[in-house]
Amino acid sequence: MNAYSDTWLHEILRNTGLKPEEGPTVTARASKSGLCVVCKGSRLLCGKTRCPIIVKVNYYLKSVPLMSTENIAGASPPSVFIGRVGYPNVYAGPLVPPVEEDTSLFDLPELWFGKPIDEIVAFRSMLIRGKHRVHVREFEQAGKIIEKTRELALAVKPVDVELKLSKKPHGSIFLSDEIQPFGPSAPIRDLNVSNTTWDSQIEKAYSDTDLKAAPAVLELYDRGVFETRIQKAFSVGAFGLEENRRLVPTRWSITAVDDIISKNLMEKVKQFPEINEYRIYESKYLDNQFEVLMLPRQWSYEAIEAWYPGTVWNPDGKQVVMFSDWEGNDRRTTYAQIGGCYYAARLAVCELLIKVRRQATVIVLREAHPGYIMPVGVWQVRENVRNAMRQKPLTYNAFNEALGRIASQFCIPLQSWIKESELIKNSLFQKRITDFLFPKST
């Protein structure tokens, strides 16, 4: 990315009565095309339905009066963040909003589905990130700041925190569409945390230094603990054999927990009988359309994403870009190319199959439109697919009928989806022995 002059952004700030040098520092960065510099948030040259930088600036302006100091006091949701830049020497620390109200919703994506993107940006932008450099394997000896950060990660409700920073927090407004909404940050000078109430179930797993990390995650999930809480504890090294514990970057911990849980569910799903019809589950949220296709075959899984020009991962494109990855009945051994969304969706569909005690070949298709103006995290995929799984499925006796329904819901031609999908092509063109023994309509 090339950084361009942010004079236009300073002009916007001055028009609101705020001087750019006041409060947290703000920086604008544009993509190589320079469209943002020409557009200045008014002409929507990128193809988005709204300018993400203007949305971010709006909430930046509202939060500035609360952040123009090195001393931050507020109720952490609770929330922590472990970075990945410089790994294994990473920045770790708490996320603290400068407010003393009930902030539990600020970092609990399981309860976000259906909320407008502005509301999500609003409370995410309020989270100030304190940073403290630490080696991931040496966090036990890293001192008070990391110790208190871990306490926060294991808490079950908001915790009063006093965060003393070495300088005023700095916030960058990125136009690269790669950073989800987030508040400003600064190095930590001191950190004080009031009495925390730990999640008793997570505390038990934390205290058991002979319990490996994966079984700990599965045990907590089976007991109904939210994945978000499991992920936070996982990221601060709360699980696993004592000698193996380490900090895990937040982004990695989210995917790791989704992967661990869905792998376990997959093995159970494979023991169930196949569904006996074609099923389609649907959901739409934040201008993301999901169609989940289930075929009456043994367990296989595929995820396909299609991004319109002007969307998060196709900001400067001239045509739709499609990504996909899949696995057969055996577990995949490599990381999915489309990233954490693959594992988040896999978890959601496995939960439904466990509930109905059936197995199927599952294909998750996602069409992202320009109304999805900025990334909000892989939780959006998990909860969107979970919402689809809560709906009554559309059922069909013929594969072509099911494909016809998908074609009617998407703007992208059906042939493009078929061309991208390994599992749809296999089902259309590759015959099984049972197809000859027990012919079905297709």
- pLDDT tens across 383-428, in order? 999 999 999 999 999 999 999 999 999 999 999 999 999 999 999 9
Query: Of 312 and 346, which is predicted with more confidence?
Result: 346
What DSSP string runs through 307-328? E-TTBTTBTT-SS-EEEEEEE-
Q: Mention every residue, 6+ apart, whose C-beta is less than 8 A from residue 217.
A: 230, 234, 239, 257, 260, 261
pTM of the entire structure?
0.87
Alpha helices, DSSP H, located in 84-143: 117-125
Contact of 159 with 196, CB cutoff 8 Å: yes
HSE-CB of 162 using CA atoms within 13 angstroms: 4
What pLDDT, on the 0 to 100 scale, is given for residue 393?
98
Task: Write down the pLDDT at residue 400.
Answer: 96
Name the token pair of 88: 């294994």
Report the pLDDT value the prediction gives residue 2, as an integer from 0 to 100.
38
What's 137's DSSP letter? T
Asked whether residue 177 carries a pLDDT value surpassing 50, the answer given is no
Euclidean distance between CA atoms 58 and 46, whole angstroms: 19
Predicted confidence (pLDDT) at residue 366 exceeds the cutoff of 90: yes
Q: Provide the phi-psi class of 377: left if phi over 0, else alpha when psi is between -120 and 50, else beta.
A: left
**DSSP 8-class letter at 438:** S
Q: Phi/psi at 35 (nearest 5 deg)?
A: -60, -35
Token output for 87:
């790994």
- What does the pLDDT average to over 300-317? 83
Q: Which residue has the tokens 């499609």?
A: 322
Q: What is the pLDDT of residues 104-157, one digit of tens each?
A: 999 999 999 999 988 988 888 889 999 999 999 999 899 999 999 999 999 999
Q: What is the dihedral of CA 28, 32, 36, 37, to 10 degrees?
A: 80
> CA 317 to CA 323: how far, in whole Å?
14
Instruction: State which H helix or E strand residue 290 sits in.
Output: strand 288-295
Contacts of 139 (CB under 8 A, 6+ apart): 92, 146, 150, 236, 237, 246, 247
Which amino acid is residue 128, in one-letter code?
Answer: I
The yes-or-no verdict on residue 25 having pLDDT over 70 is no
Q: Is the pLDDT of residue 438 over 90?
A: no
Residue with tokens 């409700």: 157
> Which run of H or of E encompasses 72?
strand 71-76
Tens digit of pLDDT for each residue in 323-363?
999 999 998 889 998 899 999 999 999 999 999 999 999 99
Rounded Cα gap, residues 173 and 182, in angstroms? 9
Three-state SS at 229: helix
Interhelix angle 227-235/213-222, nearest 10 degrees: 160
What's the distance, Cα to Cα, between the start and end of the chain in Å?
49
Say how many CA atoms lie within 13 Å of 296 toward its Cβ: 16
What pLDDT does residue 3 have?
Answer: 39
Q: Confidence class of residue 169 from pLDDT cuts 50, 70 and 90?
A: confident
Q: Among the listed ranges 92-96, 136-140, 167-171, 347-351, which one has the minimum average pLDDT value?
A: 167-171
